[in-house]
Amino acid sequence: MEVDVTRKIPRIEIDHSRCTVPFLCAKCVRTCPQAVFLVDSVKVERFKETDPREPGSFKLGTESRFKCTGCNECVDVCPVDAITITWPQ
Ligand code: SF4
Ligand code: SF4
């Protein structure tokens, strides 16, 4: 994949107090055409499955933030208004 390193990259902020069960929701993950988001487990216990229904057990990350085009589709699809996209000046 070719990446234009001169391109400005939007800032993506996730309000984790609103996005509490991202593994169950994952609407933004499925919607983003650039595959920017990743859901990762936060609570890890030996020999136990992490419960996706438990708030805070998973966290939404923006590992591929550099690929964001600022289309705002994730913002529109989020049911709890947890995502904010802003552009650097
Ligand atoms: S603004 Fe568009 S490209 Fe950027 S994270 Fe949201 S859905 Fe993906
Ligand atoms: S759509 Fe909103 S609530 Fe759902 S996982 Fe994404 S940021 Fe969290």
Please work out whether the CB of residue 68 comes within 6 Å of at least one atom of ligand 2: no
Taking the centre of ligand 1 as the mean of its atom positions, its distance from the CA of residue 45, in whole angstroms, is: 32
Instruction: Tell me the per-residue pLDDT of 46-83, one tens digit each, with 9 for 90 and over.
Output: 999 999 999 999 999 999 999 999 999 999 999 999 99
Q: Which atom of ligand 1 is the closest one to the Cα of 35? A: 8
pLDDT, position 69: 94
* Chain centre to alpha carbon of residue 76: 13
Share of the chain above pLDDT 70, in %: 94
27 domain residue, yes or no? yes
Nearest ligand atom owner, CA of 15: 2
pTM: 0.90
Is residue 1 over pLDDT 80? no
How many angstroms is it from 28 CA to the middle of ligand 2? 6
Does residue 8 form part of some domain? no
Ligand 1 atom nearest residue 70's Cα: 1
Residues in contact with 74: Cβ distance below 8 Å, sequence separation at least 6, in sequence order: 28, 31, 32, 36, 37, 83, 85
Q: What is the CATH number of the domain that holds 59?
A: 3.30.70.20
d(CA 14, CA 85): 9
Residue 68 main-chain phi, psi, to 5 deg: -65, 135
Q: Count of domains in the chain?
A: 1
Does 76 fall in a domain?
yes
Query: Do the bridges between strand 11-14 and strand 83-86 make them parallel or antiparallel, or are there none, so unpaired?
Result: antiparallel
The pLDDT confidence band at residue 31, using thresholds 50, 70 and 90, is very high
Over 90: is that where the pLDDT of 89 sits? Answer: no
Domain range for 40: 17-44+52-80
